[in-house]
Amino acid sequence: MPDPSPSPTFVLGLGAQKAGTTWLHAYLAASPAHAPGLRKEYHVLDAIDVAEESWKVRRIAPRLERAAERVALGERGNAFELQRTAMIWEDSLYPAYFAGLAGGRAPGGGPRFSMDVTPSYALLGAPRLRWVRESFAERGVRAVAVFLMRDPVDRLHSQVRFFQRRRPEQHPGTTEEEVLRLYGDPAFASRSRYERTLAAIAGAFAPDAVHVGFYETLFTDASVDAVCRLVGIDRHPADFDHRPHDAGERHGLSDETERRVAEHLRETYAAVAHACPDVDLRALWPSSRWVL
């Protein structure tokens, strides 16, 4: 049963990219206790804090100008761009917005919850995560963090395939060639540096306000039950067969490529094994055979 605490909850989804966040967001959004916002991903905190994500700020001005022009003409503006821009310019509007969504009571009288599930938040540091926890607490809202991990080689391979579909002209090689070209690129490898995110979470949230899970076990009753307990909601039916962006198979890379990527991320495997001693990582992540 969920925690009977009357406090509303804010769920900060920290990623990782290509680790099941779309599915998890859709599952949580189907709860009657969910207070829906404008998007799944808001890209506010990463745009403010993360240097490699600062390009998002540079895109704001033209989008905001177009939205304002529509409003001036009496048309509907882009509410998301207006809201996100305001939160980037004044970060106190971020907790105010999500706390406002979670205000009131859910059907049945229980607390509501709001969420921002932005995988790039895996790049945030402990000071920002502490700010999230504290700023929501000041507004009477309990902030919790959810972080999903995936076999680092599989995650990188899925990320590369995503960019090949999205920007094929920038990734003209075979998938294996692109993996070999990009696995050392900080823009790609940083999304698999789970040890950094785990350290940031540990420096900001109490253990009972955190769910650290795995893509490989996400689509199970036990995983869903754990997330529902954290958020403080009743379990509702889950469609484990529908997995967005999942081709249903492992990466298919050569052993040599898998080994090179795994060795590049050796510290990540060791840190996850240390942080999750009850998990048989060699069984869960086949690529760990090269480094554990």
For 24-35, how does the pLDDT look when each residue is reduced to its tens digit (9 = 90+)? Answer: 999 999 999 999
For helices 79-89 and 60-72, the axis angle rounded to 10 degrees is: 130
Q: Where are the alpha helices (DSSP H) in the chain?
A: 21-29, 45-49, 55-58, 60-72, 79-89, 93-102, 126-137, 152-166, 175-182, 186-189, 194-202, 215-218, 221-231, 255-264, 266-275, 281-284
Query: What's the pLDDT score for residue 207?
Result: 97
The answer to whether residue 284 scores a pLDDT higher than 90 is: yes
CA distance linking residue 197 with residue 178, whole number of Å: 25
**Choices 3.40.50.10320, 2.60.40.10, 3.40.50.300, 3.40.50.12660: CATH for 9-290:** 3.40.50.300
Per-residue confidence band for 245, with pLDDT thresholds at 50, 70 and 90 = low
pLDDT confidence bin for 2, thresholds 50/70/90 = very low
How far are the Cα atoms of 4, 8, 48, 68, 109 from residue 208, in angstroms, in the given order?
Answer: 15, 16, 27, 43, 24
Q: Are strands 142-149 and 113-117 parallel, antiparallel or unpaired?
A: unpaired
Structural domain spans, the chain: 9-290
> Amino acid identity of 132?
V
Whole-structure pTM value? 0.91
Query: Residue 264 above 90 pLDDT?
Result: yes
Written as six digits, the tokens of 222 are 């036990």
Mean pLDDT of 233-256: 81
pLDDT tens-digit readout, 201-227: 999 999 999 999 999 999 999 999 999
| pLDDT > 90 in the chain, percent | 70
Q: Mean pLDDT across the stretch 91-98?
A: 97
